Amino acid sequence: MGMMDSIEKSDADILKAIKNEHKRLNEGVELIPSENVVSKAVLQATGSVFTNKYSEGYPHKRYYGGNEFVDKVEDLAIERAKKLFGAEHVNVQPYSGSPANQAVFFALLNLGDTFMGFDLTAGGHLTHGSKVNFSGKQYNCIPYNVDKKTHLLDYDIIKKQALKTKPKMIISGLTAYPRKIDFMVFQEICDSVGAYHMSDIAHIAGLCATGVHENPVPYTDVVTTTTHKTLRGPRGGMIMCKIRDKFDKDGKKNLAQKIDSAVFPGLQGGPHDHVNAAKAVTFGEALKPEFKGYCKQIVKNAKVLADTLMDEGLELVTGGTDNHLIVISLVNKGLTGKGEDVQDALDEAGITVNKNTIPYEPNTPFNPSGIRLGTPAVTTRGFKESEMKVVGESIAKVIDNLNDDAVITKVKKDILELCKNFPLYPEFKVLS
């Protein structure tokens, strides 16, 4: 076996797994809202020779030699991200969303400091203060929640809580909140209580970049994101921030410097240059006019899916969606705590979703009462309103017939037929 052999020659086991994953993607409907399908250009950059390089430091200030082309790539990624989001300062080195958020904690807070984050079960993220995460273990999180009846964020209550608890930072952002977030109000609340505002737009970054959702970057202290969700890029993270630190009296250290030194050398080692090359490709794609059409279609598809599910008798958290995601509450179907059973049955039928908590979850995160769905991946694939209707009806059929193998087999057949019209990477030989 030669060093330079292709995977076809060198590793039958992994090749088989890749082929099977390609088949799974082709033959099923991917509705996990944090997933997408990247372009061939993004895959090529991710699989490029940049995977070999070490480049600790920042462009034109590296610790090792040989970084001429790495610098070119990182400069372009930063320049394109600034243009895409209207950002003053960008750091593209975070390995993913969680380290991006962790770097912001390192930059702005001391251990034990108080901050406010969106409760995980109601739609926040682990790194927004969950007790099992560094953010909830090493810092004092006072979570805010949605309204008990409407399941919507109530900004008056959030402001009252902020005035009372005097947090050093408030995090806005979502992983399972299907409605628009008023980032401007969050910034105003933060300014009025002397807190930093960190907005985590990982899920909706593509929508923010194209104005399909309000873009917080121009006025928010710090914005973090991943690059692999609605932004449709490689798995990775990014931080955007103001250059000036609004609390820096002596002007010695600005916000951008604090963020950069928290990422490297504070938290990470060498950046993933192959992924940063793919991030640059992604931002280039997102700057093209057609990306806005794509993002608009994501939301249109989500709305049709939501309407179809409700027409079929399913209950949705907040009664619908404004963005790319939907949370079904299984409570009215008598399936409280049966999220896993529903997820498994939908998997059987070729529909990939994830079980999810609902606000004020009556059960546990392991056996939650909700299902989370989203439309970024199917929209990339070319699904439009008519396909979303078929998908919605299929989901309802499975939920209403969880233990009926005949129904699940029939839905699987229908889904397979649907998917045949939208092949994914058909020309990739290795993924035949």
Q: Please state whether the peptide bond connecting residue 178 to the residue before it is cis, i.e. omega within 30 degrees of 0.
A: no
Give dist(CA 120, CA 128) in Å, integer: 7
Nearer to ligand DSN, 55 or 318 (CB): 318
Residue 57 in contact with ligand DSN, rule: CB under 6 A: no
Q: Which residue in the list 56, 188, 214, 348 is annotated as catalytic? A: 56
Asked about 235 being catalytic, the answer comes back as yes
Dist. CA 104–CA 266, nearest whole Å? 11
| Candidate list 28, 57, 94, 97; residue touching ligand DSN; CB under 6 A | 97
* 232 in active site: no
| From 200, 245, 285, 387, active-site residue | 200
Known catalytic residue at 54 = yes
199 near ligand DSN (CB under 6 A): no
> Which of the following is catalytic: 127, 175, 210, 226?
226
Q: Which of 62, 179, 229, 372 is catalytic?
A: 229
Residue 379 Cβ vs ligand DSN, minimum distance, rounded to whole Å:
17
C-alpha radius of gyration, the chain, whole number: 22
Question: Which of residues 175, 268, 323, 329 is near ligand DSN by CB under 6 A?
Answer: 175
**In contact, 430 and 8? CB cutoff 8 Å:** yes
Query: How big is the site for ligand DSN, counted in residues (CB under 6 A)?
Result: 4
Q: How far is CA 325 from CA 55, 231, 290, 334, 394, in A?
A: 37, 14, 21, 23, 17
Give whichever of 35 and 315 is closer to ligand DSN, judged by the CB atom. 35
Residue whose CB is less far from ligand DSN, 97 or 370: 97
Residue 197's region, left for phi above 0, alpha for psi from -120 to 50, else beta, is beta
34 contributes a contact to ligand DSN by CB under 6 A = yes
- Encode burial over 48-70: b for 16+ CB neighbours within 10 A, e otherwise: eebeebbbbbbbeebeeeebeeb
Question: Which residues 6+ apart lie within 8 Å of 263 measured at CB?
Answer: 91, 93, 94, 99, 100, 103, 239
Q: Least distance from C-beta 134 to ligand DSN, angstroms?
A: 14
Beta-carbon contacts of 271 under 8 Å, excluding residues fewer than 6 positions away, are 55, 56, 74, 92, 93, 264
* Residue type at 176 in one-letter notation: A
Give me the least distance between CB of 161 and ligand DSN, in Å please: 24
Q: Which is nearer to ligand DSN, 116 or 373 (CB)?
A: 373
Please check whether residue 53 is in contact with residue 269, taking contact to mean a CB–CB distance below 8 angstroms. no
Question: Would you tell me how many other CB atoms lie within 10 Å of the CB of residue 25?
Answer: 20
Beta bridge partners of 153: 146
34 vs 220 by CB, closer to ligand DSN: 34
Give yes or no for a contact between 148 and 290, defined as CB atoms under 8 angstroms apart.
Answer: no
E strand residue ranges, 24-100: 29-30, 57-58, 61-62, 89-91
d(CA 116, CA 143): 5
Site for ligand DSN in 106-145 (CB under 6 A): 125
Q: Which of 11, 27, 35, 54 is catalytic?
A: 54
Interface positions, 216-275, toward ligand DSN (CB under 6 A): none
| C-beta of 125 vs 151, nearer to ligand DSN | 125
> How far is CA 324 from each of CA 35, 206, 281, 294, rounded to the nearest angstrom?
11, 10, 23, 11
Distance CA 207, CA 51 (A): 29
80 is catalytic: no
Give me the least distance between CB of 248 and ligand DSN, in Å please: 31
Nearer to ligand DSN, 57 or 123 (CB): 123
Closest separation in Å from C-beta 262 to ligand DSN: 20
CA-to-CA separations, 282 to 15, 104, 376, 427, in angstroms, rounded: 26, 23, 15, 21
Q: From the CB of 29, what's the least distance to ligand DSN, in Å?
A: 17
Count other Cβ atoms within 10 Å, centred on residue 193.
18
Which CB sits closer to ligand DSN, 34 or 91? 34
Closest residue to ligand DSN using C-beta atoms: 34
C-beta of 251: minimal distance to ligand DSN in Å? 35
Question: In whole angstroms, how close is the CB of 34 to ligand DSN at the nearest point?
Answer: 3
The residues annotated with a catalytic role in the active site are 54, 56, 200, 226, 229, 235
**Which positions lie near ligand DSN, rule CB under 6 A?**
34, 97, 125, 175
